[in-house]
Each structure stands twice: as structure tokens, then as C-alpha cells.
Amino acid sequence: MALDSVSLLKKTRVEVSPETFAVISLRSEEWLKLLENPELSPRMQTPFMIFKDKWEVTLVLDDIDFGTIKHAIRDAKIERNFRILSFDVDLPFDVVGFMARIAKIFAESEISILPISSFSRDHVLIKQDDLAKALKALRGHIDEIC
């Protein structure tokens, strides 16, 4: 039987990225222009995300990678100064409500989040200004904060 979301969260270790990140919204045409220039690709040294849906291409890049491409994406929508909180617990696919529990904890503290999931872990982007408040909100709900 799988653990419930509260039990999993309790044994989770949260890691805070040392880097700050930008979240970027590109039109498909802008994305295609970036793909033509391999020197604008992420350095592969820090976390990054590329997600394309029918409305836009969303990039999450650290400030160094953002600095490399910002001249090429002048029309993009950009939000900056995010930190990534990574929930270091291997999540089985049958777990229900893990991110909902995290979102509830932050909502109760009036902290806006941008959730991201990888294959086995969940992450949230939090504005740098909300980081201390976010870590305080997590106390008592998780095993360890690093």
C-alpha cells in the first residue's frame, strides 16, 4: 500500500536552489529562433525546464543562462527572482494529493507558487522575497530543509 501524501511529505527533505531563476514565456516563433543558435542553450550545470504547449513555450533558466539569451528574446514575457524548492522524495505515480498538500501549506501562508514536476520529484518556484516565509511555513510538515 502506498504512503499517503501527508506521510510522504513528513519524510521529505527540501532542497533550496542556491541560484535564482527566470520564468520566460515565448511565442513559438521566438522559440524556433533560439533553437537555431546552439550557443543559446542552457549550460547543463543547473536545473532548467523547457515546456511547450499550444499557447507558448515556457523556459525556466538560472540568471546566468537567462543573461545569455535575453538579447534574443526581447518580446518575451519574463518574471525573475525565483528560487526552486525541490522535494527530495521519490514519488510513486499512485500518490494522490502530494502537490495539493504543498500548495495548501503555501496558500495558508499567502505564498504564490509555480509547481513543476519531474518524473519522480516535485518542485516549486517561489519568489526570492517569499523564501524565508515559505521555509517557515514548511516547518513541522517536512523532515529536513537544506
**pLDDT digits 0-9 by tens, 60-113:** 999 999 999 998 888 899 999 999 999 998 888 888 899 999 999 999 999 999
Give Dmax (Cα) for the chain.
51
CA angle 66, 87, 128 (to 5 degrees): 45
In angstroms, the CA 131 to CA 13 distance is: 16
Q: Are residues 111 and 69 in the same domain?
A: no
Number of domains in the chain: 2
The residue from 37, 53, 81 where one domain ends is 81
CATH number at residue 65: 3.30.70.260
Q: Structure pTM?
A: 0.89
Q: Are residues 67 and 110 in the same domain?
A: no
- pLDDT tens-digit profile of 18-56? 999 999 999 988 898 888 887 888 878 888 999 999 999
CA angle 70, 75, 81 (to 5 degrees): 50
What domain range is 117 assigned to?
A: 5-19+83-145
Nearest residue to 121 via CA among 1, 2, 9, 42: 9
